[in-house]
Chain A
């Protein structure tokens, strides 16, 4: 029992990372109807940006983290303004290829920096190493930080979408862009905002992942687990994406316990195939029926 709880705690933490990346993916998809295939690269770049400012330029973390994240938000906005805007109204595949291409450029650019590509890096976030004791359960501080930060992001996003004019405008734009435009919502600006937020969220997930997996070129592969999470969550539901990400993290952790080695990484994809197969009307409607 003890070990199961232990495994579930780390599964929950990893699931939160999946959920955050899925959240960024769904946010972009809802607002702009484009599929972003570069969330993983944005995640990796966010971790590297903070690392470069902290370890490379010697800034204190309290300064490096906000500046690094702000830089990623600006990058997301800039990419939307310059390139991604062209994918609007095009078939899905155009956006898929375009974002994958930009992702390759980002990864290639990081890889050409010898210091980045040759080794794993520690990003020393100030959690300490001492595990937190909750009764008999010991939780690594990095895991606890991920879980707490995810809760904070979820609360902040809820407040943003429910109680601010900008959040409301973004929701309106996601619901029906044409109607929103007629009501005076600046739709183009909302698209830019969605990409900026999406890039910022992915980078934030990278920052949280950094103490768990170290910072390295391949850390963006985590984002491949965000696709099953997004689909299981119904593709257009923000809470659904987060919940599905956490569910996948827990399912993977359990699979690692009871199934033979190597099956663990397949679980999200097998679940995705099964879910699509069993709910041919689309998962959104399946959840809708559950809610009545």
Chain B
């Protein structure tokens, strides 16, 4: 675990080639529409994963509330679009609300840092989940809320191809922004805080400001991912955004490699693939075992433990 220079640079061509090959194989194997739909999900999760990479991988802080930030983005977008607000206005608002959520979730722990970030973001996530369930008049409560297709000007993203295109473009944009932040003064300050907070403070880095920036930017990315997710799924309910989602996003970053931007992409692939592979496994298992939801949790837990235990630097890590 040596501190590295700018992440995301080495081997980017290799990553891209591998991804393309994997995508082509999937498309050939499962049909183009299905593959494109999955690609849209992978790209969307990767955007949320970038948020985790900034907070956890770059700034070295803990966030257990990313799922709730995704929920803030998704519900903001869903509610605004339902009331006829155009996407050009609602998307920035969804990003802003989630960024504000990131700021609020981390606010109580700014001076304490460390484990207290885990506690405050966890509390924030549980509060958000509870409010989504209880505030029925706004969110539809546990029954959920339908979201219409994404409309940008004359263009309606209602086919798998269009959704994949929009998510990939959004991911490219988010990636470019992250790359700029990581290579900037701010990125260097994040890595300094990650390596040794006291030393960073002694060098004149304002640690509180730097951590706050990580949570705000990470929150904004989650908001963008949430807003897109709302459209792709077309339906929002509070239980989609429970604690498990927060941990899925953490796991996503960890599987991919939390120190690299590319880690978000690899992790998103694995996270989207797990339920799919379970669906395939189900057909092979004896019937009485295969119908239980416990299996998915079990596999998820095993993958999580195995990754943390044997490959803590992730797939993208060297």
The smallest beta-carbon distance between A229 and chain B, in angstroms, is: 11
Cα–Cα distance between A224 and B64 once the two chains are bound (Å): 13
Query: Are A105's CB and B302's CB within 8 A?
Result: yes
Q: Residue-by-residue, is B102-119 near A (CB-CB < 8 Å gives 1, otherwise 0)? A: 000001111110111011
Expressed in whole angstroms, the minimum distance between the Cβ of A167 and any Cβ of chain B is 25
Flag if B62 contacts A112 (CB, 8 Å). no
Residues of B near A231 (CB, < 8 A) are 116, 119
Residue of B nearest to A102 (CB): B305
Instruction: Tell whether B250 is near chain A: CB-to-CB under 8 Å.
Output: yes
A195 within 8 A of B: no
> Is A276 in contact with B120, judged by CB distance below 8 angstroms?
yes
Cβ-neighbour of A273 out of B62, B108, B250, B298 (below 8 A): B108
Chain B residues with Cβ under 8 A from A281's Cβ? 111
Closest residue to A272 on the B side, CB-wise?
B123
Instruction: Compute the total of residue contacts between A and B using a CB distance below 8 Å.
Output: 133
Asked if B305 and A101 make an inter-chain contact with CB atoms under 8 angstroms apart, the answer reads yes
B-contacting residues, A190-232, CB 8 Å: 224, 227-228, 231
Q: B82 to chain A: closest CB distance in Å?
A: 23
Residue of A nearest to B110 (CB): A280
In the complex, the chain A residue whose C-beta lies closest to that of B305 is A101
Q: Indicate whether A97 sits within 8 Å of B304 (C-beta atoms), given known contacts A111-B292, A272-B120, A276-B109.
A: yes
Q: Is the CB of B123 within 8 A of A273?
A: yes
Interface residues on A, range: 35 or more
A169 interface contact, C-beta 8 A: no
Evaluate contact between B297 and A111: CB separation under 8 angstroms.
yes
The answer to whether B62 and A104 have CB atoms under 8 Å apart is no
A224 to B122, CA, bound (A): 9
Contact: B126 with A270, CB < 8 Å? no
The size bracket of the interface on B is 35 or more
Set of chain B residues within 8 Å of A67, measured between Cβ atoms:
none
Nearest-neighbour CB distance to chain A for B153, whole angstroms, equals 40
Is A256 interfacial (CB-CB < 8 Å)? no
Question: B239-276 vs A: 1/0 string, CB under 8 Å?
Answer: 00001000100110010000000000000000000000
Residues of B within 8 A of A97 (CB): 247, 250-251, 254, 304, 308
Q: Is B202 an interface residue (CB 8 A)?
A: no
Please provide the chain B residues from 277 to 314 with a CB less than 8 Å away from any CB of chain A in the complex: 288-289, 292-305, 308-309, 312
* 25 A-B residue pairs with CB within 8 Å: A35-B115, A87-B308, A91-B60, A97-B250, A97-B251, A98-B305, A98-B309, A100-B247, A101-B303, A104-B297, A104-B300, A108-B295, A111-B292, A111-B293, A111-B297, A111-B298, A114-B292, A224-B243, A262-B133, A262-B134, A266-B131, A269-B124, A273-B108, A273-B123, A282-B112
Known A-B contacts: A108-B300, A114-B292, A272-B108. Give 8 more (CB < 8 A): A92-B118, A101-B305, A104-B300, A107-B297, A108-B299, A109-B294, A227-B123, A266-B126
